[in-house]
């Protein structure tokens, strides 16, 4: 598939990692990026937000590369932004207050790292390990920051509405959101109950409208107990929970794939916490991948669930969407079973789809277009 120079529209996934100081954020981030960012045993070791791009694990790409003799494999990616440790009063500018808030605003989801490990050598900022209290501290700071945003925005919009230049429906939504925050709730947790229309709040980029993922940084006591994990899951439901040991994750990335698999097995896990986190991030944001393959590369492309074939084509190149004619589609499973495109075609598994086709995760596609 030859692509001439022009615009591409990548769907990026950026997850902001937040947490109190000394919960293992930087250790986790080191593992995520295989880079060493400063992980020190004192608050504010992380000053600048560090950005790491990690691959979304996808074994289907290896199989495609085998079938098409591809020279290289390009998985979908997830960007993680490591944000300075939040402390009580951050929304008022305590610690590195406003700086962390600006960095979170750019992320599409928030991964909150919560400490559930015991280690007398790593001081806890509040002197004790208490996941419930830690989560409340962070949520409170995010809620307070959003309240501040709305307190500034509402009077401005009220003036605009008075002179018929503002959006009255948005003003009503702002006030509804303000009420939810005043009751101490995040907006995403009350979206359905309060009937909030996030599209009307969009331009304020409110922090608590973002989906949350809770990352419990745990030791063997929790990782080996389904019961303890379930208790923590219940605390954060309906948000997703991921359980990992940040120190173990940092060790795993130094090992070969075989050694890492062996080490995971010894610790009773079949998937690394980082792979889980990337997967959960994808599903939390309603994303999926489709695949393209040929002698040059086998590649995964990120799209939104529910995207049509022309929208999916546009992620490769805007010309593909504009001049879309049709898409040649085979499911990965059918292609895998057939072993080649020729065999998949002879089995009747390859279809021609038009503009209304809604993409499925794992579709292997070649687009036909004319510009």
pLDDT of residue 121: 55
Instruction: Give pLDDT, residue 351.
Output: 97
Nearest to 204 by CA among 181, 172, 170, 179: 170
Query: Does the pLDDT of residue 58 top 80, yes or no?
Result: yes
SS3 17: strand
pLDDT at 42: 37
Q: How far is CA 143 from CA 10, 29, 178, 182, 274, in A?
A: 31, 25, 10, 8, 28
* Contact status, residue 30 vs residue 97, Cβ threshold 8 Å: no
Q: How far apart are the first and last CA of the chain?
A: 14
Task: Taking the CA atoms of 261, 262, 265 and 269 in sequence, report the sign of the dihedral they define.
Answer: negative
pTM comes to 0.80
**What is the model's pLDDT at position 306?**
96
CA distances (Å), origin 156, targets 101, 164, 181, 205: 22, 13, 19, 16
For residues 71 and 297, the answer to whether their CB atoms sit within 8 Å is yes
DSSP helix/strand/coil, 68 = helix
Average pLDDT over residues 310-334: 95
* Contacts with 196 (C-beta within 8 Å, 6 or more apart), sequence order: 173, 176, 177, 180, 187, 190
Which residue spans of the chain are classified as CATH 3.40.50.300? 1-60+76-286
**Residue 303 in contact with residue 287, Cβ under 8 Å?**
yes
Higher pLDDT, 102 or 181: 181
Q: What 8-state DSSP symbol labels residue 108?
A: S
Residue intervals in the chain for CATH 3.10.20.30: 306-369
**Mean pLDDT computed over 340-345:** 97
| Per-residue model confidence (pLDDT) at position 219 | 87
**In contact, 25 and 115? CB cutoff 8 Å:** no
- pLDDT-based confidence at residue 196 (cuts at 50, 70, 90): very high
Mean pLDDT of 258-262: 90
Q: In CATH, which of 3.40.605.10, 3.40.109.10, 3.40.50.300, 3.90.550.10 is domain 1-60+76-286?
A: 3.40.50.300
What CATH homologous superfamily does 306-369 map to? Beta-grasp domain (3.10.20.30)
pLDDT of residue 30: 79
Q: How far is the C-alpha of 166 from the C-alpha of 236, rounded, in Å? A: 37
User: How, if at all, do strands 72-74 and 297-304 pair?
Assistant: parallel
pLDDT: which is higher, 200 or 83: 200
Chain-wide mean pLDDT for the chain? 84
Give the tokens for residue 182. 């005043």
Task: Give pLDDT, residue 107.
Answer: 85
CB-based contacts of 320, cutoff 8 Å, min separation 6: 310, 313, 314, 367, 369
**Helix axis angle, 25-33 to 273-284, nearest 10°:** 90
* 12, 288 contact by CB (below 8 A): no
Query: Looking at the predicted structure, is the pLDDT value of residue 370 above 70?
Result: yes
The pLDDT score that the predictor gives to residue 221 is: 85
State residue 112's pLDDT score: 92
| Nearest CA among 142, 217, 234, 245 for reference residue 187 | 142
């Amino acid at each position: 598939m030859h692509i001439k120079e022009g615009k591409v529209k990548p769907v990026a996934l950026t997850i902001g990692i937040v947490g109190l100081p000394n919960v293992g954020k930087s250790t986790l981030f080191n593992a995520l990026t295989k880079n060493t960012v400063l992980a020190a045993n004192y608050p504010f070791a992380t000053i600048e937000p560090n950005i790491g791009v990690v691959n979304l694990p996808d074994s289907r790409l290896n199989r495609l590369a085998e079938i098409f003799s591809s020279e290289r494999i390009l998985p979908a990616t997830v960007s993680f932004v490591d944000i300075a440790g939040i402390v009580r009063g951050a929304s008022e500018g305590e610690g590195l207050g406003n700086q962390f808030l600006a960095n979170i605003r750019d992320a599409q989801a928030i991964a909150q790292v919560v400490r559930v490990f015991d280690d007398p050598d790593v001081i806890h900022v509040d002197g004790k390990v208490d996941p419930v209290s830690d989560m409340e501290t962070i949520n409170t700071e995010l809620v307070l920051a959003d309240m501040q945003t709305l307190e500034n925005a509402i009077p401005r919009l009220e003036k605009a509405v008075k002179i018929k230049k503002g959006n009255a429906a948005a003003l009503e939504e702002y006030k509804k959101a303000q009420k939810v925050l005043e009751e101490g709730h995040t907006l995403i947790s009350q979206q359905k109950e309060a009937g909030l229309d996030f599209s009307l709040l969009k331009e304020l980029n409110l922090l608590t409208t973002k989906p949350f993922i809770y990352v419990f940084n745990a030791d063997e006591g929790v990782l080996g107990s389904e019961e303890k994990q379930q208790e923590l899951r219940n605390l954060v439901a309906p948000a997703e929970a991921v359980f990992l040991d940040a120190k173990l994750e940092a060790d795993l990335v130094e090992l070969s794939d075989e050694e890492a698999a062996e080490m995971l097995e010894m610790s009773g896990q079949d998937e690394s916490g980082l792979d889980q986190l990337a997967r959960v991030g994808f599903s939390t944001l309603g994303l999926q991948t489709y695949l393209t393959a040929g002698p040059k590369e086998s590649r995964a492309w990120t799209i939104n669930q529910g995207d049509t074939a022309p929208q999916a084509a546009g992620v490769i190149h805007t010309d593909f969407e504009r001049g879309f004619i049709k898409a040649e589609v085979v499911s990965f499973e059918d292609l895998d079973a057939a072993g080649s495109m020729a065999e998949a075609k002879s089995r009747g598994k390859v279809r021609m789809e038009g503009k209304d086709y809604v993409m499925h995760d794992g579709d292997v596609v070649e687009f036909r277009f004319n510009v």
